[in-house]
Amino acid sequence: MRYNLEECRKFYAGKRVLVTGHTGFKGTWLCRILMLAGAKVTGYSLNPPTEPSVYGLLDMEASGMTSVIGDVRDLAQLRKVFEETEPEIVLHLAAQPIVRDSYREPVYTYETNVMGTVNLLECVRLTPSVKSVLNVTTDKVYENREWEYGYRECDPLDGYDPYSNSKSCSELVTHSYQKSFFQERDCAISTARAGNVIGGGDFANDRIIPDCVRAMEAGKQIGVRNPYSTRPFQHVLEPLFVYLQIAQKQYEDPAFQGYYNVGPDDCDCVTTGQLVTMFCELWGDGAAWENQSENGPHEANFLKLDCSKIKHVFGWRPRWHIREALDKTVEWSKAYLEGQELQKVTDRQILEY
């Protein structure tokens, strides 16, 4: 059965859900799905990381969710939120998510991505109402040997850069807490390792699609830093609906808890150059790009996930191939530049998915 908004409503309507990182790109889209599904949503996060932000553009707080501005490094404040909201489901997305920023601020990256996870799981340990927890990490947690085959959940974890490595540590923290404190408790805990996401409303620095949209807004050519790097690009709705499905299934049956890769099919693992070429074709208006290869800090050249496990366990399949994912991203981005009502555009894409 296709897991979509209607299936979400059957389970999430009335459920108390806590989302960390709710003001970010993925967090905003996730909270919007949950609001449409009728969940009672509380978000805990820093202020939106960009200006503009998709969180602000969708006027999320006017939608009825509860927003708490706070830092996952602040255990006392996070604990207070758990005590006040008594969540049943916790979706942990709060992170310092940018590779290049992790080279500039490694201590902050480790504090947020590692101790933030420790603090969250400590709050879960002390909150009996929680029945399901999902820690969202990244495809970059694996020791990357530039292999042709996709990495599997059983492959070694050892991210190279501070961002990737801190997310590997976040995985290990999660595994330890699950084994140390939750073996005899009615609370299931999983991690999800997702590939590179694209979609409307991402305004982050050092990400290729936001760079493309900014170039279009400025009437310039798109500069591409690593045109030959292969990445598992997917629309943001792909992993978000999988996160919700994992959280639901393990809530209903703890046997579903575990570690899951979430990525596109092999045919959608394209180079950054191929991705931008498709973007230009879909955007039109003479859009073009130029190679700006540089000797920046290390980033993986080839990265692909093996998603056999989640396909087998949940019967999941990616719904939008890369060109359709880009088409939806271009549609949203043009709506933004034209001043359209973006909540309607967002909701329509969620329903279409």
**pLDDT tens for each residue of 293-326:** 766 665 556 678 899 999 999 999 999 999 999 9
Q: What is the CATH number of the domain that holds 127?
A: 3.40.50.720
* Mean of pLDDT values over 283-292: 94
Mean confidence (pLDDT) of the chain: 94
Give 229's pLDDT tier (boundaries 50, 70, 90): confident
Number of H helices, E strands in the chain: 14, 13
Alpha-carbon dihedral angle through residues 99, 105, 108, 114, given to the nearest 10 degrees: 40
When mean pLDDT is compared across 56-60, 141-145, 241-245, the lowest value belongs to 141-145
The CB density around residue 6, as the number of other CB atoms within 10 Å, is 10
CA dist 58 and 118 (Å) reads 31
CA dist 304 and 319 (Å) reads 18
pLDDT at position 295 is 63
pLDDT at position 154 is 94
- 48 pLDDT above the threshold of 80: yes
- Note if the pTM is more than 0.75: yes
CA dist 56 and 23 (Å) reads 8
Tell me if 170 sits within 8 A of 190, measured CB to CB: no
pLDDT at position 292 is 86
Question: What are the pLDDT digits (tens) for 204-222?
Answer: 988 999 999 999 999 999 9
Taking Cα atoms as reference points, which of 89, 51, 55, 86 lies closest to residue 69?
55
Question: What are the pLDDT digits (tens) for 114-132?
Answer: 999 999 999 999 999 999 9
Domain range for 75 is 5-352
CA angle 223, 228, 231 (to 5 degrees): 100
Residue 220: CA atoms inside 13 Å, Cβ hemisphere, count? 10
C-alpha to C-alpha distances, 342 to 126, 185, 353, nearest whole angstrom: 39, 42, 17
Tell me if 266 sits within 8 A of 311, measured CB to CB: no
pLDDT at position 230 is 84
The CB density around residue 76, as the number of other CB atoms within 10 Å, is 8
When mean pLDDT is compared across 1-15, 81-95, 206-220, 283-297, the lowest value belongs to 283-297
pLDDT at position 225 is 86
Say how far residue 187 (Cα) sits from the centre of its chain.
22
Structure tokens at 9: 């409503």
When mean pLDDT is compared across 107-116, 130-139, 230-239, the lowest value belongs to 230-239
The total of structural domains in the chain comes to: 1
CA dist 221 and 289 (Å) reads 5
Dihedral angle sign, alpha carbons of residues 57, 202, 351, 3: negative
